[in-house]
Structure 1
């Protein structure tokens, strides 16, 4: 990788989106849509991290997370201007667009911005049903520093080692498509003290962990790069380098070079060409529903009662404790809840799969939790993405269970070791 010079640092600031009122409707040029403003996806240093949800009337179930970013700084912008200048094609095609804001320089540096948007992605995926989004049809898009963050979300999504100490940063599903305008792809040469661009003022030994070019792998999502050949800040060679890596791993990928295009596509024809290509890419990759995780897990869907619970050293429940008791529910929209323990349990059949009321009544030997679930058939695992639990240590964690079916009505789950929980379908 050739070194970047300070002259190649980023200055182009993309528009941000926020809305002062609760709901907003916009007609031409982006079609009719409503805005849900300031959804809180996390907190840091006592401040809320937020995004907005722009939902078109003709929503197709797919979504695009838009990185509100320039130089790793998120700024406020009127949603009408954002929709008209940057997002009209996406909204017209029915995509729900989520402009994501993160902690900004000079207080927060690039690694923290990357962690923030990763947290936002996890939040969207965990709340996809509430947002009216198909969790398997989520794309990411941004320009310049926002392009860098988009590539990190898509290419490094499966790398859990970088955030081992922060479970909420792990997105349960991979991103389905990426579009990046003029992105920097290797931050190693430019990380360090920088008065003009303080977001880059972080220890150089952290740069590899947030350089997209180092995370290309064969299971990466389709990726579109758009770059001008007259870009004086981030050279075209940056997109060419990562394109070569993507193609070497046979990733569906493309680079569109705009002749005379500068950084920021300040000429309107260049901007229009990029927007049309970006919209067409997401239509191609996301517009049609795919075989979803929950559709593939149709045999899980339903209510199951706990038949036995073996720890490997014998039954979990002693005669003194009482008989094993429990219920687990998987819904067709990707939600789940579980209640289990020894002795009598006030089992809830809450169709909302929210067992908060039950958790308040559970004793020491009882466990209740709820959230979402995803299935990895190749690995033979189902992952419970816990949103709430009677055991606070489980909240915002992923609980992985291996699964085995015995016919249609018997399910064995194992959380690891020799523990086996056998469930029978409720009829």
Structure 2
């Protein structure tokens, strides 16, 4: 016979999962086009907090999906977005150009990321967003795009460059944020790595950052992540690194790792004043 306490715990977990699933089904994002390239419209999916008040200014986070700058799906971070919307943030999923669909390079990916942040800040009043509390997040190549929005200068020259394309904080899930020799992406970027590699552009004023990495990640080594943190600290910027034993690349997408990394994201954003109270996950 099963332990009664185990039954109660299992029932509670199933109830929580059911409520989370219902929240996903009932949440319909607003769609905005943030950039047009010929006939292509790059879009944002925007989730607003329950009880959204247009007269207020909410903190926001823009998520960029992973996929090696080649593929990926805008919906990758939808669960994280819905949860953080429940915590009082405007949360946004951003599409951007990738090689398989648009025949682009990592440079266009980074430029699109900066365009997305600029659009959100430029339209912050109508979106109900505080322009000084816009975070960027992403996983793998999407983590690179998020970091590149802060640390590189790959802006579209046709845009209003008086509006900053830099986020105020970064949430990075196994990001490929060092593209120098011997690191991920160098084979595609080569001698242009100083332009696009976040690690090589860390400087004073870099946004406070949290990084999640599995110790068995085959694309980003622990020493690479530790060097990134050390360089951030040397520049006078906050950088927290959370290592997850024996976890591979993409570990944060499911299971206990999903919960752990999202909870730690909540704690990080609360420490910055973006949300209030203890995590509800």
Q: Same fold (TM over 0.5)?
A: yes
CA contact (8 A) 1:30 1:87 kept: no
Name the CA distance, whole Å, in 1 between partners of 2:165 and 2:140.
25
Other-structure match for 1:330: none
Structure 1 residue aligned with 2:78, among 83, 104, 128? 83
Q: Using the TM superposition, give the Cα deviation of residue 217 of structure 1 relative to its aligned residue in structure 2, in angstroms.
A: 1.4
Q: Using the TM superposition, give the Cα deviation of residue 69 of structure 1 relative to its aligned residue in structure 2, in angstroms.
A: 2.8
Matched, 1:63 2:60: yes
Structure 2 residue aligned with 1:93, among 77, 87, 97? 87
Other-structure match for 2:4: none
Cα 1:34–1:248 shift into 2, 3 Å: same
Q: Using the TM superposition, give the Cα deviation of residue 34 of structure 1 relative to its aligned residue in structure 2, in angstroms.
A: 3.9
TM-score (norm 2): 0.78
Name the CA distance, whole Å, in 1 between partners of 2:216 and 2:81.
24
Structure 2 residue aligned with 1:44, among 27, 37, 51? 37
Higher RCO by CA contacts (8 Å cutoff, separation 6 or greater):
2
Q: Using the TM superposition, give the Cα deviation of residue 219 of structure 1 relative to its aligned residue in structure 2, in angstroms.
A: 1.1
Matched, 1:146 2:133: no
Name structure 2 gaps, 5 residues minimum: 1-19, 277-281
Structure 1 counterpart SS, 2:272 = helix
Matched, 1:233 2:229: no
CA contact (8 A) 2:210 2:268 kept: yes
Structure 1 residue aligned with 2:97, among 92, 103, 114? 103
Q: Which moved more, 1:162-171 or 1:109-118?
A: 162-171
Name the CA distance, whole Å, in 2 between partners of 1:48 and 1:204.
30
Name the CA distance, whole Å, in 2 between partners of 1:167 and 1:117.
13
Matched, 1:242 2:238: no
Q: Which moved more, 1:41-50 or 1:98-107?
A: 41-50
Cα 1:232–1:170 shift into 2, 3 Å: farther
CA contact (8 A) 1:243 1:255 kept: yes
Q: Bigger radius of gyration, 1 or 2?
A: 1
Structure 2 residue aligned with 1:206, among 164, 188, 192? 192
Q: Using the TM superposition, give the Cα deviation of residue 68 of structure 1 relative to its aligned residue in structure 2, in angstroms.
A: 2.2
Other-structure match for 1:413: none
RMSD of equivalent CA atoms: 2.9
Q: Using the TM superposition, give the Cα deviation of residue 49 of structure 1 relative to its aligned residue in structure 2, in angstroms.
A: 1.4
Structure 1 counterpart SS, 2:129 = coil
Q: Using the TM superposition, give the Cα deviation of residue 177 of structure 1 relative to its aligned residue in structure 2, in angstroms.
A: 0.8
Structure 1 counterpart SS, 2:195 = helix
Other-structure match for 1:35: 29
Other-structure match for 1:276: 263
Q: Using the TM superposition, give the Cα deviation of residue 201 of structure 1 relative to its aligned residue in structure 2, in angstroms.
A: 6.7
CA contact (8 A) 1:68 1:142 kept: yes
CA contact (8 A) 1:110 1:200 kept: no
CA contact (8 A) 1:109 1:201 kept: no
Other-structure match for 1:220: 206
Name the CA distance, whole Å, in 2 between partners of 1:174 and 1:203.
22
Q: Using the TM superposition, give the Cα deviation of residue 203 of structure 1 relative to its aligned residue in structure 2, in angstroms.
A: 5.2
Count how many residue pairs are aligned between Structure 1 and Structure 2. Answer: 250
Matched, 1:112 2:108: yes
Cα 1:244–1:200 shift into 2, 3 Å: closer
Mapping for residues 300-315 of structure 1, pairs under 5 Å = none
Mapping for residues 188-203 of structure 1, pairs under 5 Å = 188-189=180-181, 202=188
User: Which structure dedicates a bigger proportion of its chain to helix?
Assistant: 2
Q: Using the TM superposition, give the Cα deviation of residue 33 of structure 1 relative to its aligned residue in structure 2, in angstroms.
A: 4.2
Structure 1 counterpart SS, 2:98 = coil
Cα deviation digits, residues 42-92 of structure 1 (max 9, x gap):
122431111111112145701100002321245446x6x8533x3343122
User: Which structure dedicates a bigger proportion of its chain to strand?
Assistant: 1
